[in-house]
Structure 1
Amino acid sequence: MTTGSHPLVPYDQGFHWKAHAAYFESRGIEAWTEGDIPHRATNNYTFARQHGLLLIELVQSLMAEGRCGPVERIQVLELAGGLGDFAARLLLALKDDLGEAGRALFNRLSYVFTDVSRTSLEQAIRRPALAGLVASGHVIPAFLDARAPTSARTLEGEALALTPRIVVANYACCVLPTKVFRKRAEAWLELHTRETAAPAESPSIEEPEAQEGAETDPWWQLVGEHAWLPVRLEETLRGPLHPRLLTQVLAHSPEAEVAYPYVFVELLDTLLERMPAGGAFLFSDFEDSSYEGRIGSGSRIPILYGDSLNHPVCFPLFEPLARMRGDDLLVSPGWHGTTRTALWRRGAPLPSSVREVFARGFCQGHVGQDRLDFEVAALKLSEAGDYKRALRFYDRCLALDPHALTLYEQAGATALALGDLDLALRYFSEGAARDSLREHDFGLRMSEVYCRQGELRRASELLETSLQTDEEPMTYLALGQVYLELGEYARAFRAYTRALELDPHLEEARQALAALQVAWCEAELGLRATAERWWEDKVRALTEATKKEPS
């Protein structure tokens, strides 16, 4: 249908979803590294380690049930891998932190790391955390579109056979195409929006519920012109599964609104069917605070990160689906919009040992969520200038997640703000000791501490060592500053020049070169003092001449 000359289409076909689809391909991993999209809830080491414990128990139960042999390769498929931090930390935990059982599973894994975006995939596997695992064959990068989950391809375009025993999907459901429905008694209404971006002026809409709430309607604020149009579920959704599921989930709700992740439901159903009996699908996402038997009539609008639409997930959809399929399912409790985790097992009950590991890791106190809450508290206290209390929360974070290198950077910076140089050096040194892949420039931060302590020579040695591993323009800039302070002007010049070669737009390096020129001339020729005297004489002469001129 149209309004004026502008067609309205189902929400999942509208212009917002087109921008969403293009966003990840154009942005790549900068969507995460530049802070557009929050990701620490499912990318921190504690969360990955909990998954490692669960994977060990799942594989041991498969062997105990005779479903796989003791040396058989285990394929784990990660969907929407994004930045790659979860994969790297999960495998690190298995290899180094979960004993013999973890190391044995690490050596048996074929970890298929997938994403729909070629840009994201290529950038993620070049990062040090994943590059070594790809080179060793433990991680297999591949493209996979969730809308066609049976077809995966390598970077070279070759078909990759998918035979996963375990599938992992973190924050995938929330970003996959979603339809939005309202139930009104026995009628179903579907959200429709513009197919293309709206012009400056918007014609009015005459369809049912089109202007409900007008600009105060959250949907209006997100998508602008829209309409809730009557639909038949059998016609707007593919196959009998979706109408049956929605009807069952909302059977006792005369009025309700639900963001229905139909692509994820189809993905789940398709991959479970490809698994052997006993296979597991483990997914985590942020909830919409609804629960079975109680799905409200209020709006379930997505959160917009960059151009990415992120829908809170209606977890009550999944238990009825598991019953319909004859599968077993565990779901962690929700804590007011936090991350929830679901463990799905195809065609077989979950053993008690698996249930116990899941309960400890995801239900009885969510350690990963505690770590995030402590970090948020530390950041807020630091912003407020309460550095001592902030550091106490950072220490609690690090006790839960000792592999989170960004925490050492943040804690060290907080200690610097407090003026405790020794404590700052301790945080930076501990971070450097754990940064075996050299993902962070702790040498740069430690050199800052040494400079403040007056140990300039030690700072220069540290920076020179850091540059042997990775040439970064900011590190050269810092090295130039140290040599300038030491009076070693030729070395400072070489450092600043190299910084500009690496980054021609680094304005700080240009300014530093100008300052170096003045300092060097003054040191060797005394020209600055001469210039200052000339200027003072000139100003004095001009002042005297002005006084003598007739008014």
Structure 2
Amino acid sequence: MIVTIERPTPFDRSVQWKLHHAYWAQRGVDAWKSGEVPHLSTSNYPTARQHAQLFRAVVADLRARGSLAEADTVWLLEGGCGNGKLAANFMHALELMDAPLAERTRYVISDYSDHNLDQVVALPHVAHWIERGLMIPARYDMADPQRVRLRGGGALTHALAFFMSSYVSCVLPMKHLQRRADGTWHELLVEVRADSDDPDLTADAFVAGLVADAARYNLLNDLELHFSWGEVDLDALFAHPSHAAIVRSIVADAAEATVGYPYGFFDFLRELQPLMLDGGVVLTNDYGSVGRERIEGRFERRPQVYGNSLAQDINFTVYDGLPPVLGWEVLRSTSELDSVHAAAVCAGGFGPAARAFFDTHYLRRRPADDLLDYVAAARAYLTKKEYARALRFFLRCVELDPYDPELRYRAGSAALDASLYAVAIEQLQRGHALDAQRGWDFDFQLGRAYCLAGDHDAALDWYRRSHARGEHPVTLTNMGVLHAYHGRHATAHACYTRALALDPHYERAHERLQSLKDLVWEAAVAGFADAPVLPKGTAPVAPAP
């Protein structure tokens, strides 16, 4: 039975956002571990290094304008820390390029979900920087920009030189607006319906049930969304008077336009300013588009769903409306070819170092795009079973991001498939050293690599380590093969039988066990053909009468 759980409602006030927030409260870091929510494009090492270089340029400008002294501690805040990879990569890159500045930097790593923050600060790549006193965890909801609650107690009282966020402006409140040829303004509305087996269940009770289990697979996609447009008074639509002027500045002279206006993020930018140093910079990265032609005309806008979270693509031309209305300076992406777009905002105007760096590195060169392209090429070649070519591209990835254990794992696995065992061992060993979370089974792959390279003792050692992580029939069977090869038949038998206990249908274990039985039987009966029917010394038996 299809029931309506929400009548046509402005999209930014839809019940879907209640489910979105509940999802993050319940899912935490697992949203990234499972691959439900993307993160490589914004948290990889080339991206973090680029941000660290911009931060360094901003600090130089702040010192030049007198906002910072040479020996001052420099504070920056990341809003929405995700899985903490960006923070760790940023500090690693900063320390390599400017160790004194890294020592004076205090990186406030924050999230609005207590559950996610608690998990992130316990991760080894984040805990390392916290233990050194260079990273400070905080609970921070960007809907309340001036309240930064430090996890250790108290509030942030230091002015910020730098704020950065990734995939945040797309999840803060946004209104989807249309200006039509007759001069009227319209807002996107959504009606939400769902299938229910209980005809007496109220909409509130139905939503409460969804919220209680917001991490359930495909929950948002199971809802029926029906979109429509409702006419609105633009000047009465927002609480702050600047928004209507900014929207008009964005649309400018377009006869008709459809724009996703991130008023929630722009409110945040405005209210954040008292926390910023004079000349402090806000940097945001998000997915979307950059061309003005992408907002012209009338078309439907729908959100993207990751896990059970919502995301709305950003057309970065919306940032062009800030300077004429608020007087801020904005630097932003201009190429549609960028995989992720960036906008930097400085209320007091950028200094020359930051402006020049943004121009050369964010507008003309994005090494993170090279990384993403190489990953895509490597995966395509793996699909075609062209393993050497896949390996070449993975090795290019490793050159760009030498600290990502997953890329080492992929490179090592491709090298195994390409029969380049020395390369596989090198990449897998390096990846194993980087994988403090033990998120990848390097032990198993190293077992394979050493086995194929002919070092059976080392192979067994790595297989045992993999086995200690958790029993698996493939690992047990591989161990059994090595034991059988070296004549340890009883141990091989134990490995095969345990593999079959875990998976009675694992054909390879069945085959190896039968081969072992045949081998043991052949060894046991070897020479039997020469044995007499009657052993020597046996007295003949008289025939029966």
User: Which runs of no fewer than 5 residues in structure 1 stay unpaired?
Assistant: 201-219, 500-505, 531-551
Is residue 279 of structure 1 aligned with residue 276 of structure 2? no
The aligned counterpart of 1:106 is 102
Residue 380 of structure 1 aligns to a residue whose secondary structure is: helix
C-alpha separation in 2, matches of 1:117 and 1:17 = 14
Match of 1:175 among 165, 171, 175: 171
Residue 284 of structure 2 aligns to a residue whose secondary structure is: strand
Indicate if the aligned counterparts of 1:460 and 1:479 stay in contact, CA closer than 8 A: no
C-alpha separation in 2, matches of 1:41 and 1:493 = 47
The aligned counterpart of 1:217 is none
Residue 170 of structure 2 aligns to a residue whose secondary structure is: helix
Residue 83 of structure 2 aligns to a residue whose secondary structure is: coil
Is residue 118 of structure 1 aligned with residue 119 of structure 2? no
Is residue 62 of structure 1 aligned with residue 62 of structure 2? yes
The aligned counterpart of 1:188 is 185
Is residue 23 of structure 1 aligned with residue 28 of structure 2? no
Q: Give the Å deviation of 1:4.
A: 8.5
Structure 1 pair 522/476, CA: closer, same or farther in 2 (3 Å)?
closer
Q: Give the Å deviation of 1:18.
A: 2.3
The aligned counterpart of 2:9 is 9
Structure 1 pair 508/79, CA: closer, same or farther in 2 (3 Å)?
farther
Q: Give the Å deviation of 1:525.
A: 10
The aligned counterpart of 1:266 is 267
Q: Give the Å deviation of 1:193.
A: 1.5
Structure 1 pair 159/516, CA: closer, same or farther in 2 (3 Å)?
farther
The aligned counterpart of 1:472 is 469
The aligned counterpart of 2:322 is 321
Matches within 5 A, 1:511-530: none
Q: Give the Å deviation of 1:485.
A: 3.2
Give TM-score, length-normalised by structure 2: 0.80
Q: Give the Å deviation of 1:16.
A: 2.4
Letter in 2 for 1:9: T
Q: Give the Å deviation of 1:429.
A: 3.0
The aligned counterpart of 1:458 is 458
Residue 37 of structure 2 aligns to a residue whose secondary structure is: coil
Q: Give the Å deviation of 1:399.
A: 2.6
Matches within 5 A, 1:471-490: 472-473=469-470, 478=475, 481-482=478-479, 485-486=482-483
Structure 1 pair 392/73, CA: closer, same or farther in 2 (3 Å)?
same
The aligned counterpart of 1:242 is 243
Structure 1 pair 230/333, CA: closer, same or farther in 2 (3 Å)?
same
Q: Give the Å deviation of 1:463.
A: 5.0
The aligned counterpart of 2:542 is none
Give TM-score, length-normalised by structure 1: 0.79
Structure 1 pair 221/155, CA: closer, same or farther in 2 (3 Å)?
closer
C-alpha separation in 1, matches of 2:496 and 2:77 = 46
C-alpha separation in 1, matches of 2:222 and 2:23 = 20
Structure 1 pair 5/302, CA: closer, same or farther in 2 (3 Å)?
closer
Structure 1 pair 465/289, CA: closer, same or farther in 2 (3 Å)?
same
The aligned counterpart of 2:539 is none
Deviations 1:197-224 (A, max 9, x none): 4769xxxxxxxxxxxxxxxxxxx99953
The aligned counterpart of 2:132 is 136
Residue 268 of structure 1 aligns to a residue whose secondary structure is: helix
Q: Give the Å deviation of 1:376.
A: 0.6
Indicate if the aligned counterparts of 1:128 and 1:439 stay in contact, CA closer than 8 A: no
C-alpha separation in 1, matches of 2:22 and 2:116 = 12
The aligned counterpart of 1:374 is 374
C-alpha separation in 1, matches of 2:86 and 2:169 = 16
Structure 1 pair 246/257, CA: closer, same or farther in 2 (3 Å)?
same
Over alpha carbons, which structure has the higher Rg? 2
C-alpha separation in 2, matches of 1:494 and 1:107 = 55
C-alpha separation in 2, matches of 1:80 and 1:351 = 27
Residue 67 of structure 2 aligns to a residue whose secondary structure is: coil
Q: Give the Å deviation of 1:389.
A: 2.2
The aligned counterpart of 1:364 is 364
CA RMSD of aligned residues (A): 3.8
Structure 1 pair 298/464, CA: closer, same or farther in 2 (3 Å)?
same
Q: Give the Å deviation of 1:432.
A: 3.5
C-alpha separation in 1, matches of 2:121 and 2:505 = 34
C-alpha separation in 1, matches of 2:495 and 2:516 = 18
Indicate if the aligned counterparts of 2:387 and 2:414 stay in contact, CA closer than 8 A: yes
Indicate if the aligned counterparts of 1:371 and 1:397 stay in contact, CA closer than 8 A: yes
Deviations 1:88-137 (A, max 9, x none): 00011112x21xxx211111111111111222212222221111112222
Structure 1 pair 226/435, CA: closer, same or farther in 2 (3 Å)?
closer
Letter in 2 for 1:130: V
Residue 186 of structure 1 aligns to a residue whose secondary structure is: coil
Letter in 2 for 1:431: G
C-alpha separation in 1, matches of 2:133 and 2:250 = 43
Letter in 1 for 2:46: T
Structure 1 pair 75/296, CA: closer, same or farther in 2 (3 Å)?
farther
C-alpha separation in 1, matches of 2:223 and 2:465 = 50
Matches within 5 A, 1:412-451: 412-432=412-432, 434-435=434-435, 440-451=440-451
Indicate if the aligned counterparts of 1:289 and 1:336 stay in contact, CA closer than 8 A: no
Indicate if the aligned counterparts of 1:17 and 1:177 stay in contact, CA closer than 8 A: no
Structure 1 pair 105/516, CA: closer, same or farther in 2 (3 Å)?
farther
Structure 1 pair 507/23, CA: closer, same or farther in 2 (3 Å)?
farther
C-alpha separation in 1, matches of 2:137 and 2:68 = 24
Q: Give the Å deviation of 1:359.
A: 2.2
C-alpha separation in 1, matches of 2:137 and 2:493 = 43
Residue 292 of structure 2 aligns to a residue whose secondary structure is: coil
Letter in 2 for 1:173: S
Letter in 1 for 2:111: D
Indicate if the aligned counterparts of 2:11 and 2:190 stay in contact, CA closer than 8 A: yes
Indicate if the aligned counterparts of 1:45 and 1:401 stay in contact, CA closer than 8 A: yes
C-alpha separation in 1, matches of 2:178 and 2:248 = 12
Structure 1 pair 498/343, CA: closer, same or farther in 2 (3 Å)?
farther
Indicate if the aligned counterparts of 1:11 and 1:192 stay in contact, CA closer than 8 A: yes
C-alpha separation in 2, matches of 1:150 and 1:174 = 20
Higher RCO, 1 vs 2 (CA within 8 Å, ≥6 residues apart): 2
Quote the sequence identity (%): 29
Q: Give the Å deviation of 1:6.
A: 5.2
Residue 278 of structure 1 aligns to a residue whose secondary structure is: strand
Quick check: 80-89 or 132-141, which moved more?
A: 132-141
Indicate if the aligned counterparts of 1:412 and 1:423 stay in contact, CA closer than 8 A: yes
The aligned counterpart of 2:310 is 309
Indicate if the aligned counterparts of 1:290 and 1:296 stay in contact, CA closer than 8 A: no
Is residue 153 of structure 1 aligned with residue 154 of structure 2? no
C-alpha separation in 1, matches of 2:492 and 2:270 = 62
Q: Give the Å deviation of 1:182.
A: 1.3
C-alpha separation in 1, matches of 2:426 and 2:443 = 12
